[in-house]
Amino acid sequence: MKKGLFILIPLLLMGYLIVITLIPRPKPQMVDAGNKILYNQNLESNNRDQESKNQNVSSDHIKQSLNCKSCHACEYPTKEDPCLIECPRQDLALVFNTTKEGPEVVVIDEMSENYSGVVFSHKLHTHMSEMSAGCTDCHHYNTTGPVLKCSKCHENTRSREDVSVPDLKAAYHRQCMKCHVQWSRENGCNTQCHSRKSPDSDVKLQQLIKEVTNKTHPLRPEPTKMRWETNYEKGKIVTFFHDEHVQLFKLKCADCHSNDNCTKCHESKTSKDFGKTIQIKKSEEEHHKSCSSCHNINSCQKCHKESEMMPFNHGRSTGWNLKAYHSKLACTKCHGNTVPIKKLDNNCTSCHKNFTLGQFDHKITGLVLSEGHAEAECNSCHVNNNFAKNPECSSCHDKDKSYPADLPGKRGK
């Protein structure tokens, strides 16, 4: 018997080695990457996975508050070379700039030949930009956290390879003149910005710097409510609660005023009293434009009423009063950051998924369950887990028990 085993075991091992040698196996693909050898046996599979991930990126992600560097590895991504990195999904590190950043005064003297340097009141302009597009109004291709200088993108020479990007002098003039021509009705070459070089140029320059240093824009009073009378037959009165849109719905000034400048509120530079704002006249299209980004302008009677509207009330507007815990939540906690605001039903399961016995604190609903009811499954009282309807008692009790006459506990404070 032992001799048979000694002969059989080596034969089995030899047979196994012959079989695994004859079975063909895929060879890993080897790619030379400098001094390293990368094994790309699953390269095609990985590419397919990545393409699938990219297809899941929301088409309106450009409207969201994202930092470009979270998705693009290079400094200046283009359509041809977007430099995409693997999407970090929920781990985004957001970077935003405020108007408090940056210098107070900037002297632009890089191209001075016949003129002395231009004194630019950077701080004052940032205060004015808060009403409109903010830093991005001038720093329009700033993809990273720190704000880049104009010279970072615009070359200081007219003779350059890429003529699609303005040179530095053209970039300065295009940015400044678009507002200043409207403001003073002239290009301002010799009156607003430039002065020809002279023996006392340096003295005048220092004097200008002193004049604009610590100069700030007056505080802008924000209206609480605005009211318009229109010619619309089915509702002549339109009421706009400005304070609600800013404080409750968290809109930024630029969301509505991104294309506004000084002349939208003030007369030209010749005016003597800038505290008095002008009456802005807008066309019907202009009035609707800023609203249409969030509201359906085809639903006219949403805004046009026969009398002045009341302030926003969640219960009156949606049919669901916010009580207890929900009244303390930000709108985005339930509705997200999408625009227009995502509509929800009043069923708890719209937001709260997978209720588990023993893990949900019923007290936050304003009702503390009794000891007997605390052990019951949710659907024992809430039929089909429909929390929008009143609970039913008939599944456990006789017909003499009903809600809210017979509470399954006591009201909480």
pTM of the model: 0.56
- Span(s) in the chain for CATH 3.90.10.10: 106-156+167-212
pLDDT value at residue 59: 55
The mean pLDDT value for 196-215 works out to: 86
pLDDT value at residue 309: 92
Cross-strand partners of 72:
84
pLDDT value at residue 237: 93
pLDDT value at residue 66: 66
pLDDT value at residue 240: 92
Domain 106-156+167-212 CATH (choose: 3.40.50.720, 3.40.50.300, 3.90.10.10, 1.10.1040.10) = 3.90.10.10
Residue 79 banded pLDDT, cuts 50, 70, 90: confident
Residue 56 banded pLDDT, cuts 50, 70, 90: low
pLDDT value at residue 45: 43
Residue 375 banded pLDDT, cuts 50, 70, 90: confident
Cα–Cα distance measured from residue 6 to residue 11, given in angstroms and rounded to the nearest whole number: 9
| Position 91 pLDDT exceeds 50 | no
- SS3 string, the chain, reads CHHHHHHHHHHHHHHHHHHHHHCCCCCCCEEEECCEEEECCCHHHHHHHHHHHHHCCCCCHHHCCCCHHHCECCCCCCCCCCCECCCCCCCCCCCCCCCCCCCCCEEECCCCCCECCEEECHHHHHHHHCCCCHHHHCCCCCCCCCCCCHHHCCCCCCCCCCCCCCCHHHHHHHHHHHHHHHHHCCCCHHHHHCCECCCCHHHHHHHHHHHHCCCCCCCCCCCCCEEEECCCCCCCEEEECHHHHHHHCCCCHHHHHCCCCHHHCCCCCCCCCCCCCCCCCCCHHHHHHHHHCCCCCCCHHHCEECCCCCCCCHHHHHCCCCCHHHHHCCHHHHHCCCCCCCCCCCCHHHCCCCCCCCCCCHHHHCEEECHHHHCCCHHHHCHHHCCCCCCCCCCCCCCCCCCCCCCCEEECC
The mean pLDDT value for 141-168 works out to: 79
Tell me the per-residue pLDDT of 287-312, one tens digit each, with 9 for 90 and over: 888 888 788 778 888 889 999 999 98
Residue 241 banded pLDDT, cuts 50, 70, 90: very high
Question: The tokens 């969201």 sit on which residue?
Answer: 64
